[in-house]
């Protein structure tokens, strides 16, 4: 079977799921298009601001589709082959990830757009609420660590392409800064210049393309800048500097009004990511690429990683992500205009992200097993060069058809793909910091400026401890920080999904008492809980073995402590859920059915 056939069949399966299982979920949850949503009830144009579904989809998609659907499928595909990864992406996104995102969003809007943690408090206990918030905040910290570090890696060094052209990390850094400036200008133009969304999109989206092209001509070389002050500075020093600067950006972006950055950047970034997805699709359809990589590499890798549970926590966001519930209940639910839009925003966006994961996996499929890119895979480069290769093949096909002047520079296509990668991550970084700030404010009860800045500085500051660490592998060589944290991120992220599904199941069972709850959310809860705790226990055992090494690194103790704490929190949450489910039914303090009040527009 050709790669094109595999991708088209996958797209068809996801489309059928949206139009069949999606409506089933709408009926089961009794969504009402007439119900007045929290976006209108609590509208303040700072956190609560209703958005049209296409605009909210762009923002939500760009926030949830971070590095996960690119990094995870590429790493898992390299380890176990593309077939197991593809099967899990399809099955996981349709039956687990999509359900998780959809029900988390609905649960939030049925509880005044409050967080999933507060839904847990209403239907379980105050103790469960604190446990959940603690788990979420820890998860946010190392999501920020992993995504910050892998983004900073794109801003340094030079990549030499097969045709001899080069793509500089400094050029990507310049393009990224230009990209960050565009949504701020766009937000101001829409707010004070009364520019419509349509006009703003037509003006600023092409400027994103200009920033990609211009970046390589005006590179921001952090290494050269640092050498002025630190003569011994190198790419490693520059990488660390970018890590810190990105964290500073996160802190600032998380406190500015949503209309100034989050909404216009989410809208602009969403459309840019649609373009990136379309570019990959065009390359796959018309590029004539063939499958080179093996479909299956075996149940266990040479490094001892077994398919169960490693595959399921490595792919992460490509099939299911607990982080999505934080976005759905943290920012998206405060902007949902109509209840029935939850199907498109919650379920549809997850299936769209699954297609991003499949395109990313295709970048592995076109590589030979002994390709140099796979010896020590850097997913951002595999993705960028894979997309670049597909677009080059497409250009060659067009030239062969008679358009002899049609050409796509390898430098431009790889820069485009790297910018798409960093765009995915940017939206996630500042949203994570904003959500971390919300959690600190909820835990402390400080909802004023003091709580806002404390929450922001803690959520953005703690990751700074990790990004300045130098970590060495078993061979004594420096190891990328993001790679060390990816396994922990994947396991905890999937466990967060399990805990969210657990909370949703308790809510639905206590308010519905219908058997479908056990199948729709109950079985996915058990699966995600099993895979993620299994993976965390494996990590704990590995860290314990490493501690016996006389050359053990201090961060090993930190990772052991975090892994152990996550397992303890998850077990405590499970106990709370069992107590809530077996307790006498006292009813729900929040209405399960929507209010009959009509929503105004």
Over 60: is that where the pLDDT of 91 sits? Answer: yes
Please check whether residue 123 is in contact with residue 473, taking contact to mean a CB–CB distance below 8 angstroms: no
Average pLDDT over residues 419-439: 80
The Cα angle at residue 216 between residues 211 and 222, in degrees rounded to 5: 100
Please check whether residue 102 is in contact with residue 343, taking contact to mean a CB–CB distance below 8 angstroms: yes
CA-only gyration radius of the chain, Å: 23
Please report the pLDDT score of residue 242 as a whole number: 94
d(CA 573, CA 187): 41
Please report the pLDDT score of residue 163 as a whole number: 67
Please report the pLDDT score of residue 588 as a whole number: 43
pTM of the model: 0.87
d(CA 179, CA 212): 8
d(CA 353, CA 376): 25
Please report the pLDDT score of residue 476 as a whole number: 65
Over 90: is that where the pLDDT of 405 sits? Answer: no
Which has more pLDDT, 432 or 397? 432
Average pLDDT over residues 8-16: 96
Helices (H) and strands (E) in the chain — how many of each?
Answer: 24, 4
Please report the pLDDT score of residue 483 as a whole number: 79
Please report the pLDDT score of residue 594 as a whole number: 41
Over 80: is that where the pLDDT of 426 sits? Answer: no
Specify the 3-state DSSP secondary structure of 168.
strand
Over 70: is that where the pLDDT of 514 sits? Answer: yes
Which has more pLDDT, 375 or 126? 126
Average pLDDT over residues 476-481: 74
Cα within 13 Å of Cα(445), Cβ side: 0
Which has more pLDDT, 23 or 467? 23
When mean pLDDT is compared over 93-107, 134-148, 309-323, the highest value belongs to: 93-107
**Distances, alpha carbon 333 to alpha carbons 117, 271, 441, 445, 574, in Å:** 14, 20, 19, 22, 26
Average pLDDT over residues 86-111: 97
Q: Which has the closest alpha carbon to 89: 498, 362, 367, 278?
A: 362
Please report the pLDDT score of residue 216 as a whole number: 87
CB atoms within 10 A of CB 7: 21
Average pLDDT over residues 426-448: 82
Average pLDDT over residues 344-365: 94
Confidence at 396, pLDDT banded by 50, 70, 90: confident
Burial class (CB in 10 A: 0-12, 13-18, 19+), 518: middle
Please check whether residue 302 is in contact with residue 13, taking contact to mean a CB–CB distance below 8 angstroms: no
Q: Which has the closest alpha carbon to 487: 52, 76, 183?
A: 76
Q: Which has the closest alpha carbon to 279: 166, 180, 363?
A: 363
Confidence at 589, pLDDT banded by 50, 70, 90: very low
How much of the chain exceeds pLDDT 70, in percent? 96
Which has more pLDDT, 228 or 427? 228
Confidence at 178, pLDDT banded by 50, 70, 90: very high
Average pLDDT over residues 225-242: 92
Q: Which has the closest alpha carbon to 424: 506, 358, 353, 493?
A: 353
Q: What is the per-residue burial (b if ≥16 Cβ within 10 Å, else e) of 441-463? A: bbbeeeeeeebbeebbebbbebb
Average pLDDT over residues 27-32: 96
d(CA 21, CA 525): 18
Residues 6+ apart with CB under 8 A from 456: 251, 254, 255, 433, 436, 437
Which has more pLDDT, 424 or 311? 311
Please report the pLDDT score of residue 597 as a whole number: 33
Mean pLDDT of the chain: 87
**Distances, alpha carbon 67 to alpha carbons 30, 36, 151, 486, in Å:** 34, 35, 9, 11
d(CA 439, CA 436): 5
Confidence at 475, pLDDT banded by 50, 70, 90: low
Over 70: is that where the pLDDT of 177 sits? Answer: yes
Over 60: is that where the pLDDT of 419 sits? Answer: yes
């Amino acid at each position: 079977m050709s790669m094109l056939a595999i991708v088209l069949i996958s797209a068809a399966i996801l489309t059928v799921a949206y139009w069949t299982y999606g409506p089933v979920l709408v009926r089961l949850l009794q969504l009402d298009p007439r119900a007045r949503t929290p976006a209108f009830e609590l509208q303040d144009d700072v956190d609560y601001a209703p958005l049209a579904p296409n605009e909210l989809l762009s923002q939500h998609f760009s926030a949830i589709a971070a590095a996960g659907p690119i990094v995870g499928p590429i790493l898992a595909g390299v380890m176990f082959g593309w077939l197991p990864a593809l099967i899990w992406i399809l099955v996981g996104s349709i039956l687990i990830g999509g359900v998780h995102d959809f029900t988390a969003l609905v649960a939030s809007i049925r509880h005044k757009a409050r967080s999933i943690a507060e839904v847990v408090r209403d239907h379980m206990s105050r103790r469960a609420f604190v446990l959940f918030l603690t788990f979420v905040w820890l998860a946010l910290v190392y999501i920020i660590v992993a995504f910050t570090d892998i983004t900073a890696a794109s801003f340094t060094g030079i990549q030499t392409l097969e045709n001899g052209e080069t793509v500089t990390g400094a050029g990507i850094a310049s393009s990224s800064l230009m990209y960050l400036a565009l949504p701020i200008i766009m937000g101001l133009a829409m707010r004070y210049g009364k520019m419509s969304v349509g006009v703003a999109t037509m003006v600023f989206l092409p400027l994103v393309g200009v920033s990609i092209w211009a970046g390589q001509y005006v590179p921001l070389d952090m290494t050269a800048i640092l050498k002025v002050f630190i003569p011994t500075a190198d790419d490693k020093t520059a990488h660390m500097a970018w890590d810190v600067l990105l964290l500073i950006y996160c802190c600032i972006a998380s406190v500015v009004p949503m209309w100034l950055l989050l909404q216009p950047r989410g809208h602009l970034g969403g459309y840019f990511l649609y373009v990136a997805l379309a570019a990959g699709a065009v390359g796959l359809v018309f590029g004539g690429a063939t499958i080179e990589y093996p479909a299956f590499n075996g149940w266990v890798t040479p490094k001892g990683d077994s398919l169960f549970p490693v595959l399921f926590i490595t792919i992460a966001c490509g099939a299911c992500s607990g982080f999505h519930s934080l976005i759905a209940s943290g920012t998206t639910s405060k902007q949902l205009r109509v209840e029935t839009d939850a199907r498109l925003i919650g379920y549809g966006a997850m299936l769209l992200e699954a297609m991003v994961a499949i395109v990313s996996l295709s970048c592995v499929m076109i590589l030979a097993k002994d390709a140099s890119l796979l010896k020590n895979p850097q997913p951002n480069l595999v993705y960028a060069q894979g997309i670049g290769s597909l677009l080059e093949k497409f250009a060659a096909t067009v030239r062969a058809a008679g358009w002899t002047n049609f050409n796509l520079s390898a430098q431009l296509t790889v820069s485009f793909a790297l910018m798409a990668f960093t765009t995915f991550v940017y939206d996630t970084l500042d949203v994570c910091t904003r959500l971390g700030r919300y959690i600190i404010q909820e835990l402390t009860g400080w909802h004023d400026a003091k709580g806002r800045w404390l929450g922001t500085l803690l959520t953005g500051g703690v990751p700074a401890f990790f990004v300045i660490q130098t970590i060495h592998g078993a061979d004594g060589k420096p190891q990328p920080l993001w790679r060390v944290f990816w396994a922990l991120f994947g396991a905890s992220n999937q466990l967060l999904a399990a805990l969210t599904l657990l909370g949703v199941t308790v809510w639905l069972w206590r308010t519905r008492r219908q058997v479908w709850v056990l199948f729709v959310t109950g079985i996915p809860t058990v699966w995600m809980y099993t895979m993620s705790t299994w993976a965390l226990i494996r990590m704990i055992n590995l860290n314990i073995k490493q501690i016996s090494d006389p050359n053990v690194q201090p961060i090993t103790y930190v990772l052991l402590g975090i892994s152990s704490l996550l397992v303890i929190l998850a077990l405590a949450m499970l106990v709370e859920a069992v107590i809530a489910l077996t307790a006498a039914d006292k009813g729900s303090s929040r209405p399960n059915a929507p209010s009959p009040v009509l929503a105004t527009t």
